[in-house]
C-alpha cells in the first residue's frame, strides 16, 4: 500500500482517532495513572519489522488500546508528578495541524506565516517577562526549543559567546583560563550536561549551597566568585533557578541580578517551570526580578499545559544570540529585506518543527486569563495540601511551597536512613495499585516525599483521595509496605 489515502479513508481514520482521544480526555479526571505494580512490564517489544502493511483501522485500534491499557498516563488528574501537565485539548489539535502542514521553521522563506506566528509567540512571552521593543527594534530575541535542556544549553552557549566572543570560531581553548559558572546545589542537571557539551567541562559548574528555603546562598556565591577570580578562573555566568525540580524553590533573582551587575556576569534564569508565573498578574512577583535576566528558559510543556515538546530560550541580548548561532549557507534563499530573522541563525537546530503553534492557539482560544486562573487555582491547591500536612500527626512539611510542589516526610521516622526508607515505603504503597503517582527525592540533601499539582484537572477531591491513601500507607509497617 502506498502512503496516499483517499478522502474517505482519511476522514474515517481521523474521526476514529478523534473519538478515541475524546474518550481518553473524558476519562482523565478518574483514570488510573498506570497498571498495578504486579502487572507493569518493562521489557522490550519483540515485533518483527513489518515487511507489508496491515489494515490501518485495526492497527490504530490496537495501538490506541494498548497505549491506554498498558501505558503510563501523565495527563491523568491523579498524576502528582514531575512537571508534566495534562495538555490543553486545543494544543493537541494544534499538534495535529502542525504535523499535517509540516512547516520547516529553519527559514522564513519556507514557513512564512508559521515563522511569524512563532516570533509573535516569543514576543508575547517577552512582553510578559517585561521586555518591550524600543524604536521598533526588538530588545530581545528568542526561539522555541525541544525543551528546557536545549533552552539551558542555548542560553549557556550565548552567555559564553557574549563573554568570550572569539571562542565561537576559535574554541574555548583560546580563552586562556578556565571559564566557570555558578548555579545552586538544587539546579537542574541540564546545566552540567550543557557545560560538558560546551567544552568547558562539567566541573566548570560551581554548585553553590542553598539556604533553608533551598535558594542559592548569595553571600556564599559572592565568596565563590571572588575565590575563583583570585585563583585565575574566568567567571562568566550565574544561573538562577526559578522553580527547582525537587521543591519549586525560586532563587532570589533580584539579589542575583545585583551581583551580576556588579561583577559583570551573565544572569540566566532557568525558569523552565516557574517562569510561567509571568503569565499571572497576581503572582508574577513569585519570579520578581526576572526582567533583569540576560536570558530566560521557560518551558510551556510544564506549567503552561502544553504537550511535549515546547521549550523557549529568550534573551535581551539579541546580538549575542545571533553571534552564537549564525552561520551562512549558500543553499538557503536569502531575503535581506525580511524583518523576521531566519530561525536557523538563532537556534541550535536546523530543520525544526513548529513547537509554538500550540501555545499561540491556546492563547488565542483561551486567552492569558485562563493561565491567570490556572496558576491561582494550582497555587491554592498546593497551599491547601501543605496546610493539611502541617496539621497532620503522621507527616511533616519540609518546606513551605513557593510554587505547586509540596515536599513533606514521615514524622518521627528516626535516622536519615530510616526516614528515607519510611518515605519510600509510603510512596510505594500509595502508588502500588497504579491509581495515583507521587515520588520521593532528596531536597537540600534530605529525603522527602514530593507531590506536585501540575494537571489542570486536579481538584480538591483528588487531593482528599491522596490524603486518604497517604494515611493508609503511613500506617503500614515499613517492611510490609516495601513488599
Ligand atoms: C528546573 C528545570 N530546568 C530544566 C529542565 C529540563 O527541561 P526539559 O525536560 O524540558 O528538557 C527541567 C526538567 O524538569 C527542570 O525542572
Q: Which of 154, 273, 298, 454 to mutate to test the pocket of ligand 1 (most atoms within 8 A of CB)?
A: 273
The dihedral built from the CA positions of residue 43, 48, 52 and 58, taken in this order, carries a sign that is negative
CA of 188 to the centre of ligand 1 (A): 7
CA atoms lying within 13 Å on the CB side of residue 106? 14
Please indicate whether residue 270, judged by its CB atom, sits closer than 6 Å to ligand 1. yes
CA atoms lying within 13 Å on the CB side of residue 70? 12
Distance, in Å, from the CA atom of 254 to the CA atom of 240, rounded to the nearest integer, reads 10
Sheet holding 179-184, edge to edge: 141-145, 311-315, 295-298, 266-271, 234-241, 179-184, 205-208
Please indicate whether residue 450, judged by its CB atom, sits closer than 6 Å to ligand 1. no
CA of 309 to the centre of ligand 1 (A): 12
What the block records as the C-alpha cell of 417 is: 536512613
Residue corresponding to grid cell 514531575: 82
Distance, in Å, from the CA atom of 90 to the CA atom of 306, rounded to the nearest integer, reads 9
Q: Which residues pair with 143 in a beta bridge?
A: 313
User: What pLDDT shows up at residue 112?
Assistant: 85
Q: Go through the chain and tell me how many residues it has.
A: 483
Looking at the CA of residue 147, tell me the nearest atom of ligand 1: 10
Residue nearest to atom 16 of ligand 1 (CA): 245
User: What pLDDT shows up at residue 479?
Assistant: 47
User: Within 10 Å of residue 273's Cβ, how many Cβ atoms?
Assistant: 29
Please indicate whether residue 272, judged by its CB atom, sits closer than 6 Å to ligand 1. yes
3-class secondary structure, 13: helix
Looking at the CA of residue 274, tell me the nearest atom of ligand 1: 1
Per-residue pLDDT of the chain (483 residues; tens, 9 = 90+): 689 999 999 999 999 999 999 999 999 999 999 999 999 988 899 999 999 999 999 999 999 999 999 999 999 999 999 999 999 999 999 999 999 999 999 988 888 899 999 999 999 999 999 998 776 677 899 999 999 999 999 999 999 999 999 999 999 999 999 999 999 999 999 999 999 999 999 999 999 999 999 999 999 999 999 999 999 999 999 999 999 999 999 999 999 999 999 999 999 999 999 999 999 999 999 999 999 999 999 999 999 999 999 999 999 999 999 999 999 877 766 666 667 788 899 999 999 999 999 999 999 999 999 999 999 999 999 999 999 999 999 999 999 999 999 999 999 999 999 999 999 999 999 999 999 999 999 999 999 999 999 999 999 999 999 999 999 999 865 544 444
Give how far the C-alpha of residue 201 lies from the chain's centroid of Cα atoms, to the nearest Å.
24
The CATH number, out of the four listed (3.40.640.10, 3.40.50.1970, 3.30.930.10, 3.40.50.300), of the domain defined by the range 103-366: 3.40.640.10
CA of 7 to the centre of ligand 1 (A): 41
Cis-peptide into 219, omega within 30 deg: no
Distance, in Å, from the CA atom of 176 to the CA atom of 324, rounded to the nearest integer, reads 19
What the block records as the C-alpha cell of 427 is: 510512596
Running DSSP on this structure, what letter comes out for residue 282? T
Distance, in Å, from the CA atom of 398 to the CA atom of 50, rounded to the nearest integer, reads 52
Residue 153 is inside which H or E element, if any? helix 148-163
Residue nearest to atom 14 of ligand 1 (CA): 245
CA of 270 to the centre of ligand 1 (A): 8
3-class secondary structure, 447: strand
CA of 402 to the centre of ligand 1 (A): 18
Domain extents for the chain?
Answer: 1-87+368-483, 103-366
Distance, in Å, from the CA atom of 372 to the CA atom of 4, rounded to the nearest integer, reads 44
What is the assigned CATH class of domain 1-87+368-483? alpha beta
Distance, in Å, from the CA atom of 183 to the CA atom of 86, rounded to the nearest integer, reads 30
Q: What share of the chain is helix, strand, coil (3-state, %, to 5)?
A: 45, 15, 40
Please indicate whether residue 284, judged by its CB atom, sits closer than 6 Å to ligand 1. no
Spatial neighbors of 474 by CB under 8 A, at least 6 apart, are: 394, 395, 410, 426
Spatial neighbors of 425 by CB under 8 A, at least 6 apart, are: 473, 476, 478, 481, 482
- HEC string of 154-204 equals HHHHHHHHHHCCCHHHHCHHHHCCCEEEEEECCCCCHHHHHHHHCCCCHHH
Amino acid at each position: 500500500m502506498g502512503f496516499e489515502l483517499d478522502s474517505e479513508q482519511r476522514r474515517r481514520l481521523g474521526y476514529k482517532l478523534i473519538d478515541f482521544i475524546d474518550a481518553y480526555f473524558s476519562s482523565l479526571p478518574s483514570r488510573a495513572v498506570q497498571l498495578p505494580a504486579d502487572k507493569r512490564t518493562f521489557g522490550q517489544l519483540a515485533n518483527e519489522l513489518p515487511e507489508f502493511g496491515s489494515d490501518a483501522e485495526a492497527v490504530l485500534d490496537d495501538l490506541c488500546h494498548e497505549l491506554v491499557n498498558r501505558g503510563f498516563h501523565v495527563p491523568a488528574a491523579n498524576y502528582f508528578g514531575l512537571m508534566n501537565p495534562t495538555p490543553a485539548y486545543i494544543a493537541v489539535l494544534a499538534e495535529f495541524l502542525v504535523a499535517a502542514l509540516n512547516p520547516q521553521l529553519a527559514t522564513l522563506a519556507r514557513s512564512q506565516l508559521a515563522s511569524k506566528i512563532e516570533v509573535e509567540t516569543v514576543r508575547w512571552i517577552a512582553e510578559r517577562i517585561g521586555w518591550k521593543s524600543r524604536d521598533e527594534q526588538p530588545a530581545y530575541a528568542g526561539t522555541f526549543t525541544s525543551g528546557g535542556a536545549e533552552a539551558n544549553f542555548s542560553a549557556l552557549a550565548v552567555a559564553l559567546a557574549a563573554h568570550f566572543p572569539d571562542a565561537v570560531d576559535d574554541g574555548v581553548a583560546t580563552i586562556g583560563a578556565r571559564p566557570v559558572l555558578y548555579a545552586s546545589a538544587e539546579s537542574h542537571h541540564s546545566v552540567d550536561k550543557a557545560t560538558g557539551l560546551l567544552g568547558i567541562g562539567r566541573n566548570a559548574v560551581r554548585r553553590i549551597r542553598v539556604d533553608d528555603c533551598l535558594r542559592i546562598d548569595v553571600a556564599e556565591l559572592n565568596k565563590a566568585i571572588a575565590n575563583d577570580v583570585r585563583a585565575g578562573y574566568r567567571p562568566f555566568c550565574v544561573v538562577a533557578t526559578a522553580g527547582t525540580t525537587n521543591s519549586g524553590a525560586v532563587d532570589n533573582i533580584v539579589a542575583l541580578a545585583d551581583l551580576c551587575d556588579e561583577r559583570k556576569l551573565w544572569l540566566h534564569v532557568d525558569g523552565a517551570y516557574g517562569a510561567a508565573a509571568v503569565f499571572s498578574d497576581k503572582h508574577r512577583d513569585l519570579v520578581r526580578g526576572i526582567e533583569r535576566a540576560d536570558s530566560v528558559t521557560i518551558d510551556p510543556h510544564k506549567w503552561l499545559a502544553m504537550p511535549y515538546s515546547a521549550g523557549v530560550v529568550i534573551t535581551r541580548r539579541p546580538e549575542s544570540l545571533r553571534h552564537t548561532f549564525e552561520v551562512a549557507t549558500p543553499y538557503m534563499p536569502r531575503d535581506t529585506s525580511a524583518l523576521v530573522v531566519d530561525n536557523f541563525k538563532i537556534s541550535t537546530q536546523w530543520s525544526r518543527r513548529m513547537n509554538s503553534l500550540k501555545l499561540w492557539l491556546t492563547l488565542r482560544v483561551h486567552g492569558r486569563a485562563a493561565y491567570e486562573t490556572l496558576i491561582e487555582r494550582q497555587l491554592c491547591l498546593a497551599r491547601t495540601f501543605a496546610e493539611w500536612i502541617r496539621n497532620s500527626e503522621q507527616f511533616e512539611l519540609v518546606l513551605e511551597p513557593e510554587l505547586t510542589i509540596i515536599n513533606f516526610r514521615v514524622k518521627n521516622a528516626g535516622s536519615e536512613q530510616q526516614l528515607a526508607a519510611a518515605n519510600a515505603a509510603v510512596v510505594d504503597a500509595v502508588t502500588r495499585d497504579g491509581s495515583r503517582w507521587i515520588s520521593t527525592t532528596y531536597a537540600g540533601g534530605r529525603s522527602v516525599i514530593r507531590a506536585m499539582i501540575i494537571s489542570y484537572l486536579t481538584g480538591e477531591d483528588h487531593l482528599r483521595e491522596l490524603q486518604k491513601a497517604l494515611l493508609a500507607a503511613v500506617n503500614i509497617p515499613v517492611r510490609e509496605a516495601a513488599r
